Structure 1
Amino acid sequence: MKNLSLKSYVFVFMLSLAFYSCSNSDSDNNASPENEFTGADDEVKLMTVDPGHFHAALVQKYGYEQVDSVVHVYAPEGKDLELHLDRIEQYNNREENPTNWVEEVYTGPDFFEKMLEERPGNVVVLSGNNAKKTQYIKQSVDAGLNVLADKPMVIKPEKFPMLKEALAQAQENDVLLYDIMTERFEITTLLQRKLSQYSDVFGTLEKGTPENPAITKESVHYFFKYVSGNPLIRPGWFFDVDQQGEAIVDVSTHLVDMILWETFPGEGIDTTQVEVVEAERWATEMTPGEFEKVTEMEPYPDYLEEDLNDENNLEVYSNGSFVFKVNGVHGKVSVEWGYESSEGGDTHYSIMRGSKANLVIRQGEEEDYVPTLYVEPVNDNSGDQYEAALQDAIDEIAEEYPGLSLNETSNGWQVAIPDEHRVGHEAHFAQVTEQYLQYLVDGEIPEWERKNMLTKYYLTTQAYKKSR
């Protein structure tokens, strides 16, 4: 073979370098650099799709350094979009801590397809009509987009396999699919969970029975309420359970999430470890005047005609409860909706039953409708030694939540919580968003989170079937 000249060597070297560069370029493209997050300013770019629920705006009630101020909104024209933009404008124009969001809006019947085509952002925010939400989630994940979705991510059992596929596809595509679980950040729930991990205070979690579960979560909500200081105007479809979802697959999502999160902290629960034992559903009745007040619509839209009774009142199946077992432990969730609260607003009740004490959250008239945590010893576990153990636990937890103290009651203690830790429901959306932003930087959602997300919706959809 003839020896190569210097010029030939240079040619071969340059050719190899070009090939290597192209190979690396292809590799980089496959790695989807738009989904690699470092925590840098403005690197997260939101795309809000069909924001029919006020939760979409609450994600933007505060600004985040990591999130670009320009948000691309894809939605059909109409009242839902107008209300969403009005809320964002309100946040931008408030005197205290105003935001600086810029909403770039596309309207048209092809809004979702247009979002997938243009892709001006890297995180899809979904909070609106739930009828197509599972499909939107799946298509977004398939397109390699991260998704932050309001609950519920699925409302019908026949759509559960699609959500299961979406969760698997998200992991395969290295994108993060996450739902907005605000109730974990409520301070009494946080403290209930923490105290349950002190064996000298709580003991061990009871197994319970269907009649007397080990852990119960109950919540009462109202259709007419105030959000960000203004009367909440709900879309008509909110009262159509085929579009919003029944209580058993909607608000119950929060309650199931908290039960899994509190009873088995940091442990992923598989669908094979749970079973729905019993479930029921019932309706809340609304008059035409009440419907008009909360929706600013009159008369009823056609899709609600089949839900009207002989008195022309609307019957909304917005109430439901079910009992399930997780690793042999019985849990119960219950959700009720009234039209309007005479006082106090939404309320929450919860009990965790331990061998040494019950940890109870009440939010009734006696508590001035403020969630309040009680420690109520059982099985003769009161006394100086027990009180000392409880005080030690509170002192240790107070290192993270300063100012906690104990007030003695007739059957135990009330945990006194400073107002600084009671940030409110609306602020919890920022806390969830910040958690999601950290997961983006981490590049993954913890395995226990992913497992519990799937199992949570498995339980709600199974309960939906059981209630019939």
Structure 2
Amino acid sequence: MLNVLIGQNVVDNNEIRLITLNPGHFHAALIQKSMYPKLSPIVHVYAPQGTDVDLHLARINAYNKRTDKPTQWDEKIYIGKDYLARMLAEKKGNVVMLAGNNKLKTKYISDAVAAGFHVFADKPMAINAAGYNLLEKSFKLAEQKKVFIYDVMTERYEITSMLQKAFSEFEEVFGVLQDGSVDNPAVIKESIHHFYKEVSGVPLQRPGWFYDVTQEGEGIVDVTTHLVDLIQWSCFPDQILNYEKDIKLWDAKRWATLITPAQFQTSTKLTQVPEYLKNTLNAEGQLTVFSNGQIDYQIRGHFARVKVTWAWQAEPGAGDTHYSIMRGTNASLVIRQGAEQGYQPVFSVESNRFKEVAYRNTFERVFREVTKSFPGISYILMGNTAVFDIPNVYKEGHEAHFARVTEKYLDFLAKGKMPEWEVPNMLVKYKLTTEALNLAIKKSK
């Protein structure tokens, strides 16, 4: 039987037990939307009293009571001001799940690792330079303690991102990644998100602190983590990166989304703006939320851009959207998800060389090779663009990706090892986002 190292303790792989600490973000519940053979159904929850934990437990209860494949979670709950001390002392589990107030998260990671727990954390794991420094120390301690810190990078499991990565690895089709320029980057990742939306079929109630960037983190350090991660994962697969050697930060900017008092009340169910948010109110009484950001940088000499934008609510029929392009010397690999695509992600390969018979034949050969891993996928060649048709079986949706990441992490625990590039590349990611925040704030003063 495989073993898992928990500090200096060894437990059977079927004894992996989850602890949920102060859940304040709906991602904590999405981890438990599915059951896992390697994970005990008993989950210990430690939290202070409040709406955050109430909403979390209500979501878990809804998963347990649904008619289609109900879950069987057995939640053991402790509510009290000393929730953190109790969790550290009682050691009821061996993996701490963190998804909530990001101002507190990095300290939670540090404390959990020091006590010998593995940590499975929603992004971001650090929202400023001080948080990054503590996170770096936590990773060093985790290595000593033989425990794993891992963040929830769901976007690696989006089928269009997987196809983009797969085709980029065939030089005969893609070529090599262009160098690009700061004005015309070789790789771009952009996403649009919404404060008010549905999760698991129910309108999402957000905590008031979600609108406080000192607690949630600015947009430039939050969702950008997914985009930076995708660039590292797809452009430099299985490679260890180093911030000082491989990254050059060129520019960063931040800007605000304005939220009306009525929108805030709709989103949070709070009838008054909390005191900690009043300093963000403008002359019209709107909340000024710095939820948007852009980072321009070089990674191993290639120019890259990530950009995140938050709006109040999506257009009817739309949702959060993603745009991406990787420019190769032979072709560009593009993901679009706008109105023209029905707000569904569409992957395409674009190349002037499709006019060449030899290139079309090469592309067809590579297509057959790639789709051995994705049977049923097809494409239509329209001029210089191969547009892919992806069967619904691969279109799991964002919520289902949480199960994929969890399965991957549980597999790491069962094997007792992670790929050697994961930890250094997580540190590069958070170093970049927190340095970009510093630059953007400096520029806006």
Does TM, normalized by the shorter one, top 0.5?
yes
- SS of 1:68's equivalent in the other structure is strand
- Report how far residue 458 of structure 1 moved: 0.4
The equivalent of 1:362 in structure 2 is 336
The equivalent of 1:78 in structure 2 is 50
Matched, 1:288 2:270: no
Within a 5 Å distance, the mapping from 1:25-424 to structure 2 comes to 32-34=8-10, 36-38=11-13, 41=14, 43-272=15-244, 273-343=246-316, 344-378=318-352, 380=353, 382-424=355-397
- SS of 2:92's equivalent in the other structure is coil
- SS of 2:124's equivalent in the other structure is coil
- Report how far residue 416 of structure 1 moved: 1.2
C-alpha distance after superposition, 1:365-415 (max 9, x if no partner): 11111100011004x453222222122112112111111111122431101
Worse overlay, 441-450 or 208-217: 441-450
Give, in whole Å, the separation in 1 of the partners of 2:12 and 2:23. 25
Give, in whole Å, the separation in 1 of the partners of 2:380 and 2:255. 39
Cα pair 2:42 2:74 within 8 Å, conserved: yes
- SS of 1:210's equivalent in the other structure is coil
Cα pair 1:37 1:440 within 8 Å, conserved: no
- Report how far residue 31 of structure 1 moved: 6.8
The equivalent of 1:467 in structure 2 is 440
> Structure 1 residues 192 and 356, CA, compared in 2 at 3 Å: closer, same or farther?
same
CA root-mean-square deviation: 1.3
Give, in whole Å, the separation in 1 of the partners of 2:343 and 2:329. 28
Give, in whole Å, the separation in 2 of the partners of 1:94 and 1:206. 49
- Report how far residue 231 of structure 1 moved: 0.1
C-alpha distance after superposition, 1:216-259 (max 9, x if no partner): 00000000000000000000000000000001100000000000
- Report how far residue 267 of structure 1 moved: 0.2
- SS of 1:279's equivalent in the other structure is strand
> Structure 1 residues 393 and 30, CA, compared in 2 at 3 Å: closer, same or farther?
closer
- Report how far residue 153 of structure 1 moved: 0.2
Give, in whole Å, the separation in 1 of the partners of 2:395 and 2:299. 30
Q: Percent identity?
A: 46
Cα pair 2:205 2:268 within 8 Å, conserved: yes
- SS of 1:242's equivalent in the other structure is helix
C-alpha distance after superposition, 1:110-149 (max 9, x if no partner): 1111100101000000000000110110111111100000
Give, in whole Å, the separation in 1 of the partners of 2:362 and 2:69. 42
- SS of 2:225's equivalent in the other structure is helix
- Report how far residue 357 of structure 1 moved: 0.4
Worse overlay, 389-398 or 183-192: 389-398
Alignment TM-score, normalising by the size of structure 1: 0.91
Q: Note the residue ranges of structure 2 that are not aligned, 5 or more in a row.
A: none
Runs of 4+ deviating beyond 4 Å: none
Give, in whole Å, the separation in 2 of the partners of 1:37 and 1:249. 37
Cα pair 2:117 2:147 within 8 Å, conserved: yes
Q: Which of 377, 384, 398 is matched with 1:425 structurally?
A: 398
C-alpha distance after superposition, 1:44-87 (max 9, x if no partner): 10000000000000000000111111100000111111110110
Give, in whole Å, the separation in 2 of the partners of 1:126 and 1:96. 27
Cα pair 2:7 2:147 within 8 Å, conserved: no
Cα pair 1:220 1:338 within 8 Å, conserved: yes
C-alpha distance after superposition, 1:293-338 (max 9, x if no partner): 0110111000000100000011100000011111111110000000
Give, in whole Å, the separation in 2 of the partners of 1:410 and 1:71. 54
Cα pair 1:195 1:201 within 8 Å, conserved: yes
Give, in whole Å, the separation in 2 of the partners of 1:257 and 1:31. 28
Q: Note the residue ranges of structure 1 that are not aligned, 5 or more in a row.
A: 1-28
Q: Which of 412, 427, 431 is matched with 1:439 structurally?
A: 412
Give, in whole Å, the separation in 2 of the partners of 1:337 and 1:124. 29
Give, in whole Å, the separation in 1 of the partners of 2:233 and 2:327. 15
Computing the radius of gyration over CA atoms, which structure comes out larger, 1 or 2? 1
Give, in whole Å, the separation in 1 of the partners of 2:227 and 2:240. 16
